Structures are given as structure tokens and as C-alpha cells.
Structure 1
Amino acid sequence: MVLGGVAQAAPDSSPIGSANVTVADPTVPRPPGQPCVVQLYTDDTFNDFSTRPYSYTPPTGCGTRWSKVVLEADFSVTAGVQFDRTASIWLGGVNLYFGTTQEPGSSLAPNWHVERDLTDYSALFRNAGQGQAVLYNLVDSTYTGVIHGSARLLFYPASIVAPAARTPDAIYPLGSDPVGNTVTLNNSSSQMAATLSLPTNVEHAYLDVFTQSQSNDEFWYTCVPDQYAAEVQECGGGNFREAEVSIDGTPAGVAPVYPWIYTGGIDLFIWKPTPGVQTLNFMPYRVDLTPFAGLLSNGSPHTVAVNVQGANSYFSATAALLVYQDPHKKQVTGAVVSNTLANQPPTPTIGSTVTQDSSGNVTGAITTDLSRHFVIQGYADTSHGRVITTVDQTVAFADTQTFNITATDYHQISDQLTTVQGVSRSQTGRFVRDEFKASFNYPLHVDYNQTAESNGDYSILTAISQGYDQHNGLSLGGFPLYSADVHNQVTGSDTLVLDSGFHIVSHSGQQATQNFAFSDSLGGCYSGSVSSANNVVTAYSTGQSCPGGNNRVFWFTHPDGSPYQGSGLLPW
């Protein structure tokens, strides 16, 4: 089989000196050939709290099985004043895109482009349906920024060099809106759930999960347990957040919550022109539910649910269940034989060294920690025999909030790390058929130092570093077949000056850098870097860390960090 590579070229013109949105992220690599294009909507105006509906019709002339399906969306906002807004695109209740928007300036009207690999959602696109774009936006005499957007789907026909992808046979959204919207999760007990009548021949099942912090939970990563909130002058509710997946009320998996920071977050100037990690284009976390395949195939309705442990008004969530069916057997039978997650509630350990002296000065640290190792195993009797699937994961959360508070200075340092180490194994008889390893690291460091000045103003120096690290590896029969690594890091700092009414007077010293790197065992390589100072791009490079100074990735890989599909990682 011929493996076609895609060389990714640098932009036609250098962004150095520009104040427009500039990121180091790769675009979605494409197979050779001309795609069929389906426009979802064109130059819609988002200036109120209404959805923007559209009708979808499958493409013609490209068949019904494609090598790749890509969403492209373009956004812009007029110069003026506007908050960061949440944007999403839907079809038949299934999320196609989820992210937030860039904030404008008084003389800055930014525009940006996002892409999402939707190949795994091909089953959704074979039938006509109704969709909508959701981007609620307040426009009045104060908030003047009007947002515009367009979106389209690109379908790449299967060919000899780019065969049709092995994709799920059915997609089931979680949520109450048949066209599509997020579900609000106000507390740990709030659930996003769907009771589904599934096929009786499920072989594999995966759940793509998005959990976005909103409202009181926007800065959840800086909060502390309620008993310390007043003393350290911080939000309560704690800072442990984790999405819990259940099937028929039984714990079935865990999805870590990424600490996305929006373009108005903490210090809005840090994120101009480069936003934080995935800020404009969230990536879902994929949970392997294959040990439950035999149970899900038994012909009874099953309820799949997601809640966010620690949610404190609130999280906005969506999820989609991806199901592979046995093409040669109408009835798959099986059961879950062990599930150690069911006996491990997500209860973190809290510690504190915070003290207050006689002058009222507060110093010390508050720690929040939780680590769980669990194994879920189930079997399914399929057309090719009994397949035993084991999901073995360790999920961990470690957070330290350090405080130094005096009458004139408030200094808080937040250090957080969420990690996942996991492996999914499928076994037929005594032989391991395939093994898929996936690990994730979500490091976050926020240093916030607010000083009361003698003139009544407040000076706030903020330094932030956030990262997204992902490793995937596939082995067949004990032999390594493929591995890939993604590293995305954004660092930035700025000093704000606020008056006594906490209105912005000025800012200074803005600087930020994003570094993005991808590499895989096939020799694929992508690197990108962008730096800014005083809110304009000062340095930009692409491909510098790759052989020959050029990015080169294979069309079927995922350099952007979008999820792989276990045994369906490669297209054959």
C-alpha cells in the first residue's frame, strides 16, 4: 500500500508585525485528491441569542465512504468591545465544533480559521439532516463587537492511495436537543444522559466528551475548598474537576477536564494575538467503552451519562457515542466481568498549611490530590470469536495553591497537573490481538500578583503557562505498529493597572509564546512556534525542528491532538 505524505507549507506571508490571531497549531492533514464541498452556512451574523439553523444534504459525486472528512470554519469580530463567546456547530444533535472566540480591540477586528477532523463521524454525514450554529452574542451600546462566521464540510473520496477510513457504524448524541446544543451541569449530581436503543451487534464503543467551564466555574482551577475560601479571598467549591462516565448508573470511565483559558481570561491582553491552548478549537477526550460491548448489545435500552465531579455552577457539556458493529453477526452477546472503577469514588484528599499571623497576613498552601488506578474488563462473543477487552487506566490530579497575602499585596500561585496513563487491550483466546496506549498530561501554572499602589490604583502582574501533552501507541500481536506524540505549550505574561473601581487604566510588558510539536514513528513531523510582544507577532517559524526544516505529516495522522480510535488508528 502506498502511504502518501502531506508536506505542510508555511503561510504565504509572514505574520510578523501583525496583531491578528496567530497560532502555531497545525491544520488537519489531507489525502490527495479533490474534495467534495458542502457549505453549511455562509457569513452568518451573530448579534443576539438565537441559533442559526441550516439544512444539510450529503455530497454528490464522492460516494458514501470517504478517506477523510474535515470541517473548516472561519470567524471574525468587528472592532469594538466584546466578551469572548462560546461557539458550537451541530448536526442531528451531534457536535461538529466547540470553541470560543477572540476578543476584539477598539481598532482591532480579528479573524481566525479552525478545522476539525470529523472522519470518525462519517455515518452521520450519509443522511440529510438539520443542523445549527450556536454563538450567543450580546450587541448593544456597550458591547459593540459583531461576530460573523462561515462553515463547510470537505469530503475526500476514497482512492487507492487514500482508502476509505474504518469508521464507526453509528453515532448517538447525548443531550436533549435533537438538532444540537450543550447541556448545563450545575453540580456534581447534574447529568447529561441519553437512554439509547442500540444495535444488538456492538463490537466497539467510544464516547467523545467535551466539558467546558462556564460562569462561576470559569476559573475553577484557582478555587479552594469552601472552608478556606474566606481566609484566602478565593472562590470556593474546590479545584478538583473530572468528568465521570456511567452506563446504567455504573461507573464506566473517566474523562479529564482540560483547564481552557478564554481570551478574556485572567488578563485579556496576554491572549492577543495568540490565545491559550485549544482556546478557539477544543479537542474532545475519547473514552473507551468497549468492555461494555456485550452488555450494550443485549437488546435492552441503556442509559449513558456524564457528570462533572466538583462542578459548581457550571459546566457546559456535550458527548457522542461512537459504535462499531459486527458486520457478520446480528446478535453479539457478552458481559462485563470486572470493574474496579465502580468501587473508587472521585474523592480527593485536601491538605492545608495556611496560617494567619497577628497582623492579618496569610501565608501557606492548599493541596488537592487524587489518584485512581482501575481496570474494566468485558467480553463479547462476535463472529470472529470471543473478544476480551481490558481498559487499564491510572488517572491523577494534583493541585497546589500557594498564598502570600498582606494588606497591600495579594500573591497566588496555582500549580496543577492532570495526568492519564492508560492501555486498552483486545484479546482473542490466549493471544493479544491489539494494544492501544494513550497518555495525557495537562500542566497549568498561574502566578497572579496584585499590589495596591499608593495612588489607589492596583498593579497586577500575571504569568501563565499551560500545556497539552499526548502520546498514543498501537501494537498488533505484540509488535509495535505506530506511535505519535503531541506537545502544545503556551506561556505568557502581562501587567495590568486598574483604578480603584477596577477599571483598566493601562497594561504593559505583554509577551507570549506558543510552541507546538508533533512526531510519529512513520517519520511524520510538525513544528510551529509563534511569539508576541506588546500584542503584535515578533517571531514566527514553522518546520524548524523537523528534518530539512519542513513539516511533513501523513494524511491519516492526527497532528492536532484529535483523538485516535484504538484499533482503527490506521486506515487499513
Structure 2
Amino acid sequence: MLPEGSFRRVLAAAGFSLFLAGVAQAAPGNSSPVGTANVTVADPTVPRPAGQPCVVQLFSNDSFDNYSPQPFSYTPPTGCGTHWAKVVLEGDFSVTAGVQYDRTATIFLAGVNLYFGTTQEPSSTLSPSWHVERDLTDYSALLSNAGQGQVFIGNTVNSTYTGVLHGSARLLFYPASARAPAANAPDAVYPLGSDPIGSTVALNDSSSQLAATLNLPRNVERAYLDVFTQSQSNDEFWYTCVPPQYAAETGECNNGNFREAEVSIDGQPAGVAPVYPWIYTGGIDLFIWKPTPGVQTLNFIPYRVDLTPFAGVLSNGSPHTVAVSVEGADSYFSATAALLVYEDHHAQQVSGQVTRNTLANQPPTPTISSTLSQNAAGDVTGGVTTSLSRHFIIEGYADTSHGRVTTTVDQTVAFTNTESFNITASIYDQITDQLTTVQGVSQSKLGQAVVGEFTASFRYPLYVESDQSTLSDGNYSIFTKVRQGYRQHTEEGLGGLTLYAAHVDNHIDGSDTLVVTPSYSIVSHSGQQATQTFAFGDSLGGCYSGSVSSANNVVTAYSSGQGCPGRQNRVLWFTHPDGSPYQGDGPLSW
């Protein structure tokens, strides 16, 4: 009989697991990547203003063959002023040919995360390399001061796992000018966690917290939290699990499939950060991700939570504890977060209160339903559905130098996951169909006048099909299909008028068939194909489109700009075509 839930164990037994970040560049210069087996993606790089940047090298050609963080010292650049139009992190990584897991990679400075993601797996004949970028303009306050940092890519190298990782990273500072003015960046950046240089925190269960007790300025007028929550270990394939009461029947992991990051201030619910189902380059079927990894696999994008309704409370001079937990975590989620604070420069003291918080009485408890049935032969068919939808409003006021500003965060966060099964003595078929959505608006009023409105919607669709059967020779055939997406629509408005709108759509569709032995050693694979498409557009006429397709693990088609006017990508330097957060740093301010 085919072992139940085996597609997940194929990965572990074959040695394919998880793990680096930024926006990977599709092809160097104007060259075509068609025919290459090296990493190729459709994602845009970070746009820049014109002019020569100042460059600060963080580390250069470091080797990663153990579990020791690599420290570096940071000093702000000279010759580019102290206020910058844009700050960009660039990283270049590679792994030597051989056998190696995918590995998690992070870069921290003074406790704050600059980069989070995973690495590409090598093959016996290919040493893959990739380029990554992250827009760090909102972290300018952190980068204005010298500090200590470290890069960490924990990696085992021995006679079996031979791949050695290498990496370099630098920061590019673009000086402010009349054509590219200094960014409206936060005044301060505070890390969550206790490591003064920086590391992620393992959240092993729902009660585990990433937290910091902070002494904040007394003039906070806006606050945002950038959150990363990355699934690891037992939780790597959390989206395929079922509630405990159905685990024996289905043979699946028994810790459920609802995961959601909960944000709190002084123990009071303050916001929600949906968990993105990242799939690493060894995940499910490693060949699907050669040469194009899954959505954001090489570039985790943080989710930004608006904490501005708490601005008056945060300014009261008392220490405040900001915390993140992951509901449903089961050993474990790796988490990091940074609090971004804007100050009222014309007031020494801001005061205020939270006046409404309907999230506080809505615990994250999903509804479970089942259509599973089992016949006399033990065959199992049907599905298990997990769902939760919460609409909440958090409202608070802050008495600022501008007057009383009332901010309302109104959001609906919804989650649905259906695990469908067809299990007999010779087949084990499972489909994961999951969708997480967010619909929300943050509105600020000065008296009765609306002075800012930010609307955002997100969709995280995931479809994973695994059809497993026993072959005549006793081996197993496993066909896998994956569809994964990230969709984001944002708008900034004022008085009912839309001042700026942008849309991001990033998705990948791939499949492959593995043949494995009963001990889950890979015999062969066939039929690999994948296509990633990326599209960005905004109300300023910005447009980016990219597409990459592969078959048999080499790039077969690549295009850039085909979906834009004149078949050419055009984006303005201050926009975020990669989907990175920009709420708080736009043209609207008090």
C-alpha cells in the first residue's frame, strides 16, 4: 500500500527542504536567458532615480558552510547627504554544484531585518547564482547611524551535502535632488526581538511571541509594523495539514492548516498579518522550481500593519510591548518585525486613546467542516474545509500639533482551505485549494476633514495537486501540480479622490512527475514545466510585465515588457513594482 501523505515525506527523505531574499533579476543586461538552467525569474528589480549612488559594501564573497553568523560593521555613506531619495539593498548569491538543501538567509543591522528569504538548490552539474534587491528607503533612519550587523545562512557541508553558499551585499544610497526629493521616510525604526544585532525568533506554538518592550518618543503620530513570518520544520507544509480529528483517516499532518500572524500592543489585539504560503526550492517537488523558484521564494516581502490608531497611546511616555504571534504555529515559524514610527516635529507631546477595537472580541477560531467518507475496503474520499472571516474596526485619536487626528483601520481578513482526498490501496490523491484575502482601508481625519485614505486588497491563492500511485515494479509515481499567486491592489486617496493606485500580480504555474523508491529515493522525473508571469501597473502610467517559461529544467521562453504600451517596461523611480509596502511614505501627510 502506498503510504499516506507521502508527497511531503518524499521531500524530507530525498533531502529537499527550504530557504534567501530580494528581487531576483531575470537576465543580465539585454541578453536572453532562453536555454539557461540558471535561476531566471520574471520579477522587476527596484527602480531608481537618475544619478550616481553612494555605495556601502556590507560583506563581500562570504562563504557559508556552517551555522555561525557572519558579522559586519556598517558606517553611513559620505558624499550623498543625510537624507536620501532612495536606498536599495543589492545582494548576489551562489551555491557550488553538488547536493545541498535550500537554506534560509537573513541580513540584520542593529536588530532590524534588511533581507529575508531562501536559496536556490544546486545540482550535480549546476552552480546556480542569483541577484536580489530590496527597497530599504523606509529604513533610512536606521541607516543614518553606524552599527553592527550580521548575515546568516545556516548550512551543513559534509561528504553528503557538498554545496557551499557564497554571498555579497551592498547598500546603494541615491542622494536627494530637485528631481528626486528626499523620501518621506519614518523618523525611527525599532526591531522586535531581543538580539541587539539581529536574528529571527522561533514561534513554536500559538502562545509563542516575537516581542519588544519599547520606550518610544512622546510625539508619535503614525506607526506601522513590517512583519515576516516564515514556516519551518513541522510547519513547512502547514497548508496541507488537517485538524487532528481527521489525521488518522487521511494520513496527513494533524496540526490544521489555519495560520495567521496576530499583532498586539500591551496584550491588546492591534492588527492581523496574513501568512503567505511560500514554497522553497526543495518544496513538494524540487524540479518544478528549476530554474524558476516560486512566488517570492528568493524575496520575502513583509506585510505592513497600520498601528496608527494607537499613536496617542504609544506617545504617553510609558514603555509599550509590541508583539507578534502565529495562530496555529506548530514548531515552528521563524519571525521578525520592525516598527516604523513617524513623529510630530512640531509637538513635544502627542496624546490620545484607542476608542474602538472590535478585533479584541474576535478570537482567530476557524470553522471546520468535513465531507470525508470511508467504505468497507478502507477507501477514503471527500474533503475537509477550514475557514475564517473576520471584519474588524480599530479606531483611535491623537492630539497633534495639527489638531485632533482620528485614524480608523477597517479590514476584512478571510481564509479558506479545502483538503480533498481520494485514497485507496494503490493511490493517494490530495488537492490543497487555499485562498487568503484582505480588504481594508485606513482613513485619517483632521476634525471632520479626511486628510488621508489608504485602501489595500491582497489575494494569496494556492493550489497544490498531488496524485500518487504504485507502479508495477513497486516504485511510486507522484504527479504534482502547483499554482501559486500574489495579488495586491493599493490606492491612496483624499476626499473621495484617488491620488495614486497600483496593482501587482505575480503568479506561477508548474508541474512535474517523480518516480521514487519505497524508501523515497528519486529514480527519475519527467514532464517538468513551469511558467511565471509578473504584471504591475499604476495610475501614473507605470507598467511592468515579465514572463518566463521552462521545460525539462531549462528556460524555453522569456519576455519583458510585452504587456506594456510599446512593449516596453516603464516605471517611475519612486514606485514599488515588486509589491513591497509603501503605506506611510506616499505623498499624503498631515
TM-score by length of 1: 0.98
2:272 maps to a residue whose letter is V
Structure 2 residue 344 is matched with structure 1 residue 331: no
3-state DSSP class of the match of 2:527?
Answer: strand
Equivalent of 2:544 in 513, 519, 526: 526
Q: Distance in 2 between matches of 1:161 and 1:570?
A: 18
The corresponding residue for 1:262 is 280
Higher strand share: 1
The corresponding residue for 2:145 is 127
Q: Is the 8 A contact 1:163 1:571 kept in 2?
A: no
Q: Is the 8 A contact 1:226 1:236 kept in 2?
A: yes
3-state DSSP class of the match of 1:551?
Answer: coil
Q: Distance in 1 between matches of 2:585 and 2:291?
A: 39
Q: Distance in 2 between matches of 1:232 and 1:567?
A: 48
Q: Is the 8 A contact 1:474 1:567 kept in 2?
A: no
1:309 maps to a residue whose letter is E
Task: Give how far 1:10 is off.
Answer: 8.0
Q: Distance in 2 between matches of 1:571 and 1:38?
A: 31
The corresponding residue for 2:504 is 486
Q: Is the 8 A contact 1:247 1:304 kept in 2?
A: yes
Task: Give how far 1:448 is off.
Answer: 0.4
Q: Deviations over 1:478-503 (max 9, x none)?
A: 22100000000011000000012110
Q: Distance in 1 between matches of 2:83 and 2:564?
A: 33
TM-score by length of 2: 0.95
The corresponding residue for 1:4 is none
Q: Is the 8 A contact 1:184 1:317 kept in 2?
A: yes
Equivalent of 1:496 in 503, 510, 514: 514
Q: Counterparts of 1:260-409 in structure 2 under 5 Å?
A: 260-409=278-427
1:491 maps to a residue whose letter is D
Task: Give how far 1:230 is off.
Answer: 1.2
More divergent stretch after superposition (562-571 vs 524-533): 562-571
Structure 2 residue 171 is matched with structure 1 residue 164: no
Q: Distance in 2 between matches of 1:372 and 1:448?
A: 31
1:94 maps to a residue whose letter is V
Structure 2 residue 265 is matched with structure 1 residue 214: no
Equivalent of 1:36 in 54, 73, 83: 54
Q: Which runs of 4+ in 1 moved over 6 A?
A: none
Equivalent of 2:523 in 495, 505, 527: 505
Equivalent of 1:79 in 97, 113, 119: 97
Q: Distance in 2 between matches of 1:536 and 1:134?
A: 30
Q: Is the 8 A contact 2:396 2:407 kept in 1?
A: yes
Structure 2 residue 473 is matched with structure 1 residue 449: no
Q: Is the 8 A contact 2:184 2:585 kept in 1?
A: no
Structure 2 residue 261 is matched with structure 1 residue 240: no
3-state DSSP class of the match of 1:501?
Answer: coil
Q: Distance in 1 between matches of 2:488 and 2:182?
A: 26
Task: Give how far 1:570 is off.
Answer: 6.9
Q: Distance in 1 between matches of 2:215 and 2:371?
A: 51
Q: Deviations over 1:492-528 (max 9, x none)?
A: 0000000121100000000000000000000000000
Task: Give how far 1:571 is off.
Answer: 10
Q: Distance in 2 between matches of 1:553 and 1:147?
A: 33
Q: Distance in 1 between matches of 2:525 and 2:386?
A: 33
- What count of residue pairs does the alignment treat as equivalent? 565
Task: Give how far 1:12 is off.
Answer: 2.2
Q: Distance in 1 between matches of 2:233 and 2:252?
A: 15
Equivalent of 2:486 in 450, 458, 468: 468
3-state DSSP class of the match of 1:229?
Answer: helix
Equivalent of 2:217 in 199, 217, 220: 199
Q: Distance in 1 between matches of 2:83 and 2:296?
A: 29
Task: Give how far 1:564 is off.
Answer: 1.3
Task: Give how far 1:567 is off.
Answer: 6.0
Over 3 Å counting, the alpha-carbon distance change for 1:444 and 1:207 in structure 2 is same
Task: Give how far 1:11 is off.
Answer: 3.5
3-state DSSP class of the match of 1:313?
Answer: coil
3-state DSSP class of the match of 2:570?
Answer: strand
Q: Is the 8 A contact 1:261 1:276 kept in 2?
A: yes
Q: Is the 8 A contact 1:466 1:490 kept in 2?
A: yes
3-state DSSP class of the match of 1:122?
Answer: helix
2:157 maps to a residue whose letter is V
1:396 maps to a residue whose letter is A
The corresponding residue for 2:171 is 153
Structure 2 residue 45 is matched with structure 1 residue 27: yes
1:377 maps to a residue whose letter is E
The corresponding residue for 1:183 is 201
Equivalent of 1:104 in 119, 122, 125: 122
Q: Deviations over 1:262-299 (max 9, x none)?
A: 00000000000000000011000000000000000000
Q: Distance in 1 between matches of 2:486 and 2:586?
A: 23
Q: Distance in 2 between matches of 1:60 and 1:101?
A: 33
More divergent stretch after superposition (472-481 vs 109-118): 472-481
The corresponding residue for 2:16 is none
1:488 maps to a residue whose letter is N
Q: Distance in 2 between matches of 1:535 and 1:285?
A: 32
Unaligned stretches of 5+ residues in structure 1: 1-7
1:249 maps to a residue whose letter is G
1:90 maps to a residue whose letter is F
Q: Is the 8 A contact 2:452 2:589 kept in 1?
A: no
3-state DSSP class of the match of 2:34?
Answer: coil
Q: Is the 8 A contact 1:19 1:272 kept in 2?
A: yes
Over 3 Å counting, the alpha-carbon distance change for 1:543 and 1:118 in structure 2 is same
Task: Give how far 1:68 is off.
Answer: 0.2
Q: Is the 8 A contact 2:458 2:486 kept in 1?
A: yes
Task: Give how far 1:104 is off.
Answer: 0.1
Q: Deviations over 1:406-431 (max 9, x none)?
A: 00000000000000000000001111
Structure 2 residue 35 is matched with structure 1 residue 14: no
**Percent of aligned pairs with the same amino acid:** 75
Equivalent of 2:570 in 552, 556, 562: 552
Q: Is the 8 A contact 1:174 1:318 kept in 2?
A: yes
Q: Distance in 2 between matches of 1:202 and 1:335?
A: 12
Q: Is the 8 A contact 2:201 2:336 kept in 1?
A: yes
Q: Distance in 2 between matches of 1:230 and 1:213?
A: 23
3-state DSSP class of the match of 1:554?
Answer: coil
Q: Distance in 2 between matches of 1:133 and 1:222?
A: 31
1:134 maps to a residue whose letter is F
> What RMSD over aligned residues (CA atoms) do the two structures have, in Å?
1.2
Q: Distance in 2 between matches of 1:527 and 1:189?
A: 42
3-state DSSP class of the match of 2:571?
Answer: strand
Q: Distance in 2 between matches of 1:230 and 1:139?
A: 37
Q: Distance in 2 between matches of 1:571 and 1:14?
A: 43
Q: Distance in 2 between matches of 1:300 and 1:348?
A: 35
Q: Distance in 1 between matches of 2:383 and 2:225?
A: 36
Task: Give how far 1:568 is off.
Answer: 2.8
Q: Distance in 2 between matches of 1:261 and 1:561?
A: 18
Q: Is the 8 A contact 1:197 1:300 kept in 2?
A: yes
Q: Is the 8 A contact 2:469 2:477 kept in 1?
A: yes
Q: Distance in 2 between matches of 1:211 and 1:194?
A: 16
Q: Deviations over 1:10-42 (max 9, x none)?
A: 842110000000000000000111000000000
The corresponding residue for 2:559 is 541
Q: Distance in 1 between matches of 2:121 and 2:499?
A: 43
